[in-house]
Amino acid sequence: MDAASGGDPHAQNAMGYIYFEGSGVQKDHEKALMWFRLSARQGDPEGQCNFGYMLAHGLGAYQDVEKAFKLYTCSAEQGYARAQFNLAHMYSEGLGTAQDWGEALRWYGKAAENGNLAAHYRVGVMKEEGRGIPPDESEAARIYAECAEAGHPKARYRLGMMTFEGRGVRKDPGKAAKILAKAAEEGSPEAMLQLGRMSLSGEGMVKSEGNAMKWFRKAAARGSEEAKGIIGGVSKEK
């Protein structure tokens, strides 16, 4: 096919993914970029998002966050959820555009409405922390609960901490321990670390140094530097 002759943008995206992931062929970001560009040039929202992603991260071409921002915008305005999420991130971090928390919240909200779970979680974070808006911990807790039900470990961890501290919901350390234990099962090192702290203090859990160290070791194995420091400190004391 002549590169200038158009073609099916869905097929072009499929070819782009094949080279991007190295699925049955040698991974080649330049070829992936070429196929995503062909799709984007036809106004395909998936192609625009993929091409924007490559440029945003400097994959197969020099990094160009300004152009990536424009591509994400074109794709997001057509209702493509992944582009809406990426565009919101660009606004929140000031990448390719001026930082704008209001626009970040608006696009995270649109992506969430289109079923993007990560975007729904980000809305919760913005409401909890009051990024560009007055904080609303009750609403944040509600959003985290919805995300947790859908299997989002970071949301479950944040819900557990809010329950432990009594922010946005009634303080209940015992209930918090159960929520955090589930988040730990899902792989959250932050939840593992908190369970270790709670085992040491006995708040919400049976006080047990042995159980605490178990959780600290699990968190450390997941890359928690704080947990590694706690384990190292205990070792020196002994």
Architecture of the domain spanning 8-78: Alpha Horseshoe (1.25)
Confidence of residue 11 (pLDDT cuts 50, 70, 90): very high
Q: How far apart are CA 218 and CA 238, in angstroms?
A: 20
* Assigned CATH class of 154-222: mainly alpha
Intervals of CATH 1.25.40.10 along the chain:
8-78, 154-222
**pLDDT confidence tier of residue 152, bands split at 50, 70 and 90:** very high
∠ CA 106-130-52, nearest 5°, is 40
% of the chain residues with pLDDT over 90: 92
Tokens describing residue 213: 């160290």
